[in-house]
Amino acid sequence: GPEDALVIDRATGLRPLVSAAGQLGLLTADGIDEALRRLAGMAAPVADLGSRRRLVSNAIAAANRLVAEQVHAAGGIRSDYSAALGRLDGADRRRVERSTLIRRNTSAVVRLMASTDWVCPVIGEVRFHDTWGEPRPGGRSHRGVDISAPMNTPIVAPVAGVVSHRWDTIGGRSFDLVADNGDYYFGTHMRRFGIEGRVEAGDGIGFVGAGGNAKGHHLHFEYHPGAGDNAVNPFPLVDTHC
């Protein structure tokens, strides 16, 4: 009767639901299997990443040990050098110290010649010659290189550091630049001062002039590795970067 028809209809209507539930179960099982396969595939890269991190950590530790050993060895070499120097007489000691200073200065100049950060101290078209050691009035010798340029050509800091200005009758307006690494630069015969204090390479610190006893417009430029009265010929630097 009508009730049986209703039961049959309900049963018939449930079949799609049962079928869908079965398919959903299969999909869920397939999804779990796929997730497990992906996790298994990720295990190797994760393990490999951990291994790489351990290798990097071990390499850094080894490098730190090597640096420490080299610092210790350098300290021993300095001690041995000082002890050997102390056993020499005055003349021999001065010769060794002079030879060591020459090697150190040469190394400093070569390093700056290869630098991409060092800036020519005079902007634009310039002229210069190697006049290192030429005699000057009063028994002096030339301790720099003269960089010729038109009046008021900008003068810039060749490296980062601290600049101060001064004036005297020989050079007129001058600058002193103490670089961040301790090197010292000197320039003179300026027409006007520029920036003073903290500067970066390329900052304007003055202008070319002919002050003091200068003949013609130029910047007298000096380089002293490690500061002090340790002037070296700056011509190779200027010739490389200007």
The per-residue pLDDT for 1 is 46
Domain end among 87, 111, 146: 87
Q: What is the pLDDT of residues 55-71, one digit of tens each?
A: 666 666 666 666 555 55
Same domain, 224 and 133: yes
Is residue 54's pLDDT more than 80? no
Confidence bin at 137 (pLDDT 50/70/90): confident
Please state the domain count of the chain: 2
Confidence bin at 3 (pLDDT 50/70/90): very low
List the CATH number of the domain containing 146.
2.70.70.10
The per-residue pLDDT for 46 is 56
Interatomic CA distance for residues 234 and 158, integer angstroms: 12
Asked which of 26-30, 76-80, 137-141 is least confident by mean pLDDT, the reply is 26-30
Q: Count how many residues are written for the chain.
A: 242
Same domain, 142 and 235: yes
Asked which of 40-44, 91-95, 162-166 is least confident by mean pLDDT, the reply is 40-44
CB 231 within 8 A of CB 132: no
Is residue 84's pLDDT more than 90? no
Is residue 120's pLDDT more than 70? yes
Same domain, 65 and 170: no
- 154 burial level (CB within 10 Å; 0-12, 13-18, 19+): middle
Q: What distance lies between CA 224 and its chain's CA centroid?
A: 20
The per-residue pLDDT for 207 is 98
The per-residue pLDDT for 221 is 97
Residue 110: inside a domain:
no
Residue 8: inside a domain:
yes
CB 222 within 8 A of CB 235: no
The per-residue pLDDT for 14 is 47
CB 185 within 8 A of CB 221: yes
Same domain, 55 and 139: no
Same domain, 70 and 17: yes
The per-residue pLDDT for 21 is 47
Q: What is the mean pLDDT of residues 189-206?
A: 97
Range of the domain at 9: 1-87
Say which residue, 9 or 191, is predicted with more confidence: 191
Asked which of 51-65, 92-106, 150-164, 214-228 is least confident by mean pLDDT, the reply is 51-65
Same domain, 83 and 132: no
Backbone angles phi, psi at 204, to 5 degrees: -75, 120
The per-residue pLDDT for 140 is 85
pTM to 2 decimals?
0.63
